[in-house]
A and B are shown apart, each in its own frame.
Chain A
Amino acid sequence: MGTESIQFHRDADRLTHDLRHRGLIQKALGGYYVKRDEQKAKYTDWQEARTSAAAAKYEAVNHLDKYLLELTEKLEARGTKVFWAADGAEAAEYISSVARNAGVKRIIKSKTMTGEEIHLGPALEKAGLEVVESDLGEFIVQLREEPPYHIVFPSMHLTRGEIDETFQKKLGSPHADTPEELTMIARGVMRQKYCQADMGMSGANFAVAETGHISITENEGNARLSTTLPKVLVSIVGIEKVIPKLEDLAVLLPMLATAGAGQNMTCYNTLLGGPRQPGETDGPTEFHVVLLDNKRTSLLADAEQRDALHCIRCGACLNVCPIFKNIGGHSYGTTYQGPIGSVITPHLRGLQSWKHLSFSSSLCGACHEACPVRIDLHHHLLQNRRNAIAEKSVWWEKPIFAGFAWFMRRPALYRLAAPMLRLGAPVLHAIRGKFFDPARMWTGTRDLPPAPPQSFKEYWRKRNG
């Protein structure tokens, strides 16, 4: 087992026993389910909406070459600088140089999972820049020096009390009881940072090729401030974020809001078209868009799983995933948690190191059912398993499955299984859960049913004399 896998087993096992955590997440998501279903009911046909959202993304992902060039052309026509980054290092390097050239000292950042993916914040801090998160949830986990717990709700694992404690400790703020008071404390800190920041940084929910717009959707208004107040703006955009047409947003924005947070529409939807134009009085004077690959093209090359690039990072698959709900977001050890993380992380960061995530699933398919862009998530987990084993089988599993197949291909031999099971059952029962119990991975936490008096095959033989 690799270190990633060992860490996953350790953290997941610990959290599954943490009933406080289980209750917290159930409660948080309980409210989400109700709101999501209310909003879904407002669609004339949610399934049709899924189909058209998937179609828009399909068109984009299958013609990325065309749409990325169109996007670039449109952005550049209004004075935006577009940089193509092959990986995180190139992106960080470029952004640092933009900061250096513009004399930037302080950066205010709105939420970007793509930025998290390439550890952009720490990389820029290393380059001597101050980076402050302006999204409330991100701000809280940044103060706690934790990674986001969930791609949409970064601090959903924390109680109000814990947030209060964090604020008191890290900001020296007075004790606060209500969400409003806590928000006011964060706002007090952030307002100052907005005014001081000389660079704003954002991610993108979508990038519209047709018109050259970066689309950002958020509930707090922080992204709008982060992208419009500072003189320099950088948006970091994964190449799969491009969509063909402006009108595609008509289906994608409400679906993102509904699937992601149970909202009709997210509160603020911003379209950034470029830097300040001649005659305009506000907005950034410099606008840079960093288009990031970081192995997305290898996912694109996989025809079976290419649709994973449709992902609009709504988090719906996490919210319905019974694995996520029991092990929590941090156990994954990845930027993208839950089913989508288990599918794409092996592509982005190495199949052998991250294959355990694809195995850690009951393949229930709730993720696929919830996904607004119809990504075949649970089947991709199966494909990752197949690919991982084809590349490198597990030394002790290979003979077991070879033996299994050998045995199951011999019906005459198989017929002996039932009497053997009956013979072995009392022994198994006596040693259940003990170290030398071959079934202890089951019996450690669950009982085994008693072996029945006859198998179906025996019943059938008897019946037909």
Chain B
Amino acid sequence: MKITLFIPCFIDQYYPGAGIGMVRILEKLGHAVEYPESQTCCGQPAFNSGYWDEARSVAETMLDAFRDAEVVVGVSGSCGAMLKVFYPELFHGHPREAEAKALAAKTHEFSSFLVNVLGVGDLGVSYPAKATFHDGCHGLREMGIKREPRELLKHVRGLELVEMKEAETCCGFGGTFSVKFPEISTAMGEVKCASILETGAELVISNDSSCLMQIQGILDRQGKKIRSMHLAEVLANF
């Protein structure tokens, strides 16, 4: 299968490791990957801030970039949800509505693509660590991804997965919310970090790098020694 990569700007600029991990895993499984270089941002910051016209103009760049793709696999639950759930709404009544719907239909989040489309569970990798998993809200509630990352992590040799209390509670990132309401956002993050610390894990894994930026940013500020990694990086440890 020819897989087209969706690497949102955030991953591109700050967390390329997650994208690189995804490339390595998909190629290891024998798939051809392509990456349209004209992709930039999904438009979510403008969309979430109420500037839908601006968001739509950016989103059109993405419609162009992925027009010929067969399947689009993204490494972020949040930006994936933007394409999959919010593009149809953003383009509702717009001349390119059909294109937006078509892109939504062929877009997948990475862990869900591995488990539900490719039928993969065991990637044959090992990563010895005591870890806990944080569910990014967009992946979890907009796309219903909960079982898939755990299914993949279950097969990682040496990885002990400890569930944290309220794993499904938001880390407080929320995109522009995190800088518009930094105090509230940070308080939410502190609650999340307390649940992580309680597990005694040395590593926190998520399928959303934006959550990890929030979590790691707070843990670092608190001087805690816990590391964070994107799911794709853990699974690419071969």
Please give, as numbers and ranges, the residues of chain A lying within 8 Å of B38 by CB-CB distance.
Answer: 411
**In the complex, what distance in Å separates the CA atom of A388 from the CA atom of B49?**
10
Within the complex, the shortest CB–CB distance from A337 to chain B, in Å, comes to 14
Do residues A386 and B52 form an inter-chain contact, with CB atoms below 8 A? yes
**In the complex, what distance in Å separates the CA atom of A189 from the CA atom of B89?**
55
**Which of B46, B189, B216, B217 is close to A404, meaning CB atoms less than 8 Å apart?**
B46
Q: Does B7 contact A (CB under 8 A)?
A: yes
Q: Does A168 contact B (CB under 8 A)?
A: no
**In the complex, what distance in Å separates the CA atom of A74 from the CA atom of B143?**
45
Do residues A452 and B17 form an inter-chain contact, with CB atoms below 8 A? yes
**Which of A382, A409, A418 is close to B48, meaning CB atoms less than 8 Å apart?**
A382
Please give, as numbers and ranges, the residues of chain A lying within 8 Å of B170 by CB-CB distance.
Answer: 322, 362, 364, 366
Chain A's interface: helix, strand, loop or mixed, by majority?
A: helix
**In the complex, what distance in Å separates the CA atom of A120 from the CA atom of B15?**
55
Please give, as numbers and ranges, the residues of chain A lying within 8 Å of B160 by CB-CB distance.
Answer: none
- B 48-79 contacts with A by CB, 8 A: 48-52, 54-55, 57-58, 60-61
Do residues B177 and A360 form an inter-chain contact, with CB atoms below 8 A? yes
Within the complex, the shortest CB–CB distance from A28 to chain B, in Å, comes to 15
Given A16-B187, A454-B16, the answer on whether A404 and B221 have CB atoms closer than 8 Å is no
**Which of A361, A409, A451 is close to B14, meaning CB atoms less than 8 Å apart?**
A451
Please give, as numbers and ranges, the residues of chain B lying within 8 Å of A458 by CB-CB distance.
Answer: 16
Do residues B16 and A456 form an inter-chain contact, with CB atoms below 8 A? yes
Given A389-B49, A411-B37, the answer on whether A22 and B191 have CB atoms closer than 8 Å is yes
Do residues B213 and A459 form an inter-chain contact, with CB atoms below 8 A? no
Given A16-B186, A447-B216, A448-B217, the answer on whether A322 and B19 have CB atoms closer than 8 Å is no
**In the complex, what distance in Å separates the CA atom of A398 from the CA atom of B50?**
10
Do residues B137 and A362 form an inter-chain contact, with CB atoms below 8 A? yes
* Closest residue of B by beta carbon distance from A393: B51
Please give, as numbers and ranges, the residues of chain A lying within 8 Å of B60 by CB-CB distance.
Answer: 409
**In the complex, what distance in Å separates the CA atom of A460 from the CA atom of B218?**
31
Do residues B178 and A456 form an inter-chain contact, with CB atoms below 8 A? no
Do residues A401 and B51 form an inter-chain contact, with CB atoms below 8 A? yes
Do residues B49 and A16 form an inter-chain contact, with CB atoms below 8 A? no
Do residues B177 and A452 form an inter-chain contact, with CB atoms below 8 A? no
Within the complex, the shortest CB–CB distance from B49 to chain A, in Å, comes to 7
Please give, as numbers and ranges, the residues of chain A lying within 8 Å of B141 by CB-CB distance.
Answer: 364-366, 368-369
Return the CB mask of A375-411 against B: 1 if under 8 Å, else 0. 0000100100111111001000110011011001101
**In the complex, what distance in Å separates the CA atom of A16 from the CA atom of B191?**
11
**Which of B35, B55, B184, B186 is close to A446, meaning CB atoms less than 8 Å apart?**
B186
Interface residues on B, range: 35 or more
Do residues B137 and A446 form an inter-chain contact, with CB atoms below 8 A? no
Q: Does A13 contact B (CB under 8 A)?
A: yes
- A 436-465 contacts with B by CB, 8 A: 441-442, 444-449, 451-452, 454-460
Please give, as numbers and ranges, the residues of chain A lying within 8 Å of B41 by CB-CB distance.
Answer: 404, 408
Within the complex, the shortest CB–CB distance from A209 to chain B, in Å, comes to 34
**In the complex, what distance in Å separates the CA atom of A441 from the CA atom of B182?**
6
Do residues B177 and A363 form an inter-chain contact, with CB atoms below 8 A? yes
- B 128-186 contacts with A by CB, 8 A: 137-138, 140-142, 168-170, 172-175, 177-186
Given A361-B174, A363-B177, A452-B14, the answer on whether A397 and B48 have CB atoms closer than 8 Å is no
Within the complex, the shortest CB–CB distance from A18 to chain B, in Å, comes to 10
Within the complex, the shortest CB–CB distance from A336 to chain B, in Å, comes to 19
**In the complex, what distance in Å separates the CA atom of A451 from the CA atom of B180?**
23
Interface residues on A, range: 35 or more
Do residues B184 and A327 form an inter-chain contact, with CB atoms below 8 A? yes
Q: Does B97 contact A (CB under 8 A)?
A: no
**In the complex, what distance in Å separates the CA atom of A411 from the CA atom of B9?**
11
* Closest residue of B by beta carbon distance from A397: B49
Q: Does A43 contact B (CB under 8 A)?
A: no
Given A404-B45, A414-B40, the answer on whether A445 and B186 have CB atoms closer than 8 Å is yes
Please give, as numbers and ranges, the residues of chain A lying within 8 Å of B168 by CB-CB distance.
Answer: 366
Return the CB mask of B185-207 against A: 1 if under 8 Å, else 0. 11111010000000000000000
**In the complex, what distance in Å separates the CA atom of A17 from the CA atom of B183?**
8
Q: Does B122 contact A (CB under 8 A)?
A: no
Q: Does B12 contact A (CB under 8 A)?
A: yes
Within the complex, the shortest CB–CB distance from B205 to chain A, in Å, comes to 16
Q: Does A12 contact B (CB under 8 A)?
A: yes
Given A409-B57, A411-B39, A442-B178, the answer on whether A12 and B48 have CB atoms closer than 8 Å is no
Q: Does A326 contact B (CB under 8 A)?
A: yes
Do residues B58 and A388 form an inter-chain contact, with CB atoms below 8 A? no
Given A454-B16, A457-B12, A457-B37, the answer on whether A13 and B177 have CB atoms closer than 8 Å is no
**Which of B61, B89, B214, B220 is close to A408, meaning CB atoms less than 8 Å apart?**
B61
Please give, as numbers and ranges, the residues of chain A lying within 8 Å of B217 by CB-CB distance.
Answer: 442, 446-449
Q: Which residues of B contact A (CB under 8 A)?
A: 7, 9, 11-17, 19-20, 35, 37-41, 43, 45-52, 54-55, 57-58, 60-61, 89, 137-138, 140-142, 168-170, 172-175, 177-189, 191, 213-214, 216-218, 220-221
Given contacts A379-B89, A387-B50, A409-B61, 5 further A-B contacts (CB under 8 A): A362-B185, A401-B46, A411-B40, A445-B186, A447-B220
The 7 closest A-B pairs by CB, nearest first: A362-B174, A389-B50, A446-B217, A364-B170, A385-B50, A365-B141, A16-B187
Q: Which residues of A contact B (CB under 8 A)?
A: 9, 12-13, 16-17, 22, 26, 322-323, 325-327, 359-366, 368-369, 379, 382, 385-390, 393, 397-398, 401-402, 404-405, 408-409, 411, 414, 417-418, 421, 441-442, 444-449, 451-452, 454-460
22 contacting pairs across A/B (C-beta < 8 A) = A22-B191, A326-B184, A359-B177, A359-B181, A362-B177, A362-B188, A363-B137, A365-B141, A385-B50, A389-B49, A389-B52, A390-B52, A397-B51, A401-B46, A401-B49, A409-B57, A411-B40, A414-B40, A447-B217, A449-B14, A455-B13, A458-B16
